[in-house]
Amino acid sequence: MKPEELSIDCLGQPSIPSPLAIISGRKYIGNDSKILYNPHFGSNQVQTEEQRSLGFELAGPREKLFFDPKKAKVAIVTCGGLCPGINTVIRNLVNHLWQLYGCQNIVGIKYGFNGLKPEPIEKTVKLTPKVVNHIDADGGSYLGCSRGTPPKEEIVERLITLGIDVLFVIGGDGTMRGAFQIYSEIKKRGLAIGIVGIPKTIDNDIPYVKRSFGFSTAVAQAADVIRAAHVEASALMRGIGLVKLMGRHAGYIAANACLSSGHVDFCLVPEISFRLEGEGGLLDLVGRVLDKKSSAIIVVAEGAGQEYFYTSAKQRDASGNEVLHDIGYYLKNLLKKHFSHLTPAVSIKYIDPGYIIRSAPANSTDQLFCARFAHNAVHAAFAGKTGLMIGYWHGRMTHVPLEIVCGKNQLIDPTGDLWFNVLETTGQPVNI
């Protein structure tokens, strides 16, 4: 990544004075206000002058707008799987557009990018503060979701037909890839349609977004489920609680839920491989924990241990995500077999709480966080910025070019604080 790669595209020179009365006497955010990519220093952190100028543009209200809020028509679309907080983002987008900028022409696209097909299944939905007033009390998406991106040309045609000036895209890495393609097609055609992404990833794996909305809620829900597994396992003479959590590429939910619950003996994540058999392998270690305290709790992220499945070809779903093999079910059977000779028998309590976690409404922490993403997306859009996603870095909301987001995943650093904290808390060995 070079400094110039972080520059944000703009549809044109903003010239309309911002209507934000609440700024009065205070400063708008300048486009050159940035936050360092890496604020660490010391003997381990030799930095060149270039590195010292590598930073993300700060999000926030700009003094001049590109779009006239009174005339602009904006659309909101939500894609991919569910995540706590989607409705709070929608509600805050609408309220902010309407009440702060005075933009009253807002439509919701039904069922993800598929709602932007030439012949969509459902019409767009008119969105007003009244319509969205209570939707944040529910989980899920008021607009509905779906996976997959129709051809970018068709989508751009549809945006033109609908007269959309700005499209807010709420979605994960696949969706941001789609958003980048749509943005590129728009740019190719020289259209003045803005594309502003809001990262939605329950796995917390979108790069340059330290914490994504809904993540706090997901961890809280996951920690509750781990407590359930702990209660079940510890009521038995030899009980193993096994919980499969979300995390295709990145084990953030598993790691954080382990830290939050404090009851976990083994945390398995995609970033760190582990042995099953042999001395010091997982099965051996679980046996030792059982001997010591009669119950054991294992948390496994869905993407962990995929190397144990040998397959010739990978399957992909409509979002282009590889279909994972079920490591939870695999471990359950393996553990059962491994301990089948013991009396009293080992009992395995396996919980796969995916839907329960995904569909929860945002907790207080996420309600607030969703608002920040939504508000800054609106500021960016009216300033004419496009081809970007709202990021979150060292406590500040930022602008991140969609281009540098695509095809990457944010992963747990096996040598970093988080994984160290997991090892501290579980007591599991560094190498299993």
Does residue 254 sit in helix, strand or coil? helix
344 binds a second copy (CB under 8 A): yes
Give the list of residues 6+ apart from residue 235 with CB closer than 8 angstroms, or none. Answer: none
Examine residue 26 and tell whether it contacts a second copy (CB under 8 A): yes
Q: Is 41 in the site for a second copy (CB under 8 A)?
A: yes
140 binds a second copy (CB under 8 A): yes
Give least dist CB 310 to a second copy, A: 26
With both helix axes pointing from N to C terminus, report the angle between 282-293 and 327-338 in degrees, rounded to the nearest 10.
60
Which residue among 7, 15, 30, 163 contacts a second copy (CB under 8 A)? 30
Rounded Cα distance between 200 and 220, Å, is 17
Measured between alpha carbons, how far is 148 from 143 in angstroms, rounded to an integer?
Answer: 16
- Residues facing 350 on adjacent strands: 242
Q: Are 61 and 28 in contact (CB under 8 A)?
A: yes
Q: Is 46 in the site for a second copy (CB under 8 A)?
A: no
Give SS3 for 133.
coil
Cα torsion 241, 247, 253, 255 to 10°: value is 70
Nearer Cβ to a second copy (60/303): 60
* Residue 307 and residue 315 in contact, taking contact as beta carbons nearer than 8 Å: no
Site string for a second copy, 253-282 (x = CB under 8 A): ---x--xxxx--------------------
Host H or E run for residue 78: strand 74-78
Q: Which of 188, 368, 407, 408 binds a second copy (CB under 8 A)?
A: 368
Residue 153: CB minimum distance to a second copy, A: 21
**CB of 191: closest distance to a second copy in angstroms?**
29
> For a second copy, which is the closer residue by CB, 40 or 190?
40
Select the residue interacting with a second copy from 73, 210, 325, 338 (CB under 8 A): 210
Q: Which residues, listed in sequence order, are joined to residue 277 by a DSSP beta bridge? A: none
Among 16, 36, 131, 334, interactor with a second copy by CB under 8 A: 36
Mind telling me the catalytic residues? 203
**Considering the rule CB under 8 A, would residue 134 count as an interface residue with a second copy?**
yes
Q: How many residues bind a second copy (CB under 8 A)?
A: 99
Task: Give, as ranges, the residues between 104 and 123 that touch a second copy (CB under 8 A).
Answer: 111, 114, 121
How many Cα atoms sit within 13 Å of 255 on the Cβ side?
26
Report if residue 420 touches a second copy, rule: CB under 8 A.
yes
Distance CA 297, CA 362 (A): 27
Measure Cα distances from 134 to 35, 196, 416 in Å: 35, 24, 40
Q: Which is nearer to a second copy, 100 or 107 (CB)?
A: 100
Based on the shown chain and the rule CB under 8 A, indicate whether residue 340 belongs to the binding site for a second copy.
no
Q: Which of 2, 13, 17, 21 binds a second copy (CB under 8 A)?
A: 21
Among 14, 69, 144, 172, binds a second copy (CB under 8 A): 144
By the rule CB under 8 A, 7 interacts with a second copy: no
Contact residues for 353 (Cβ-Cβ < 8 A; gap 6+): 221, 222, 225, 243, 244, 245
10 is an interface residue for a second copy by CB under 8 A: no
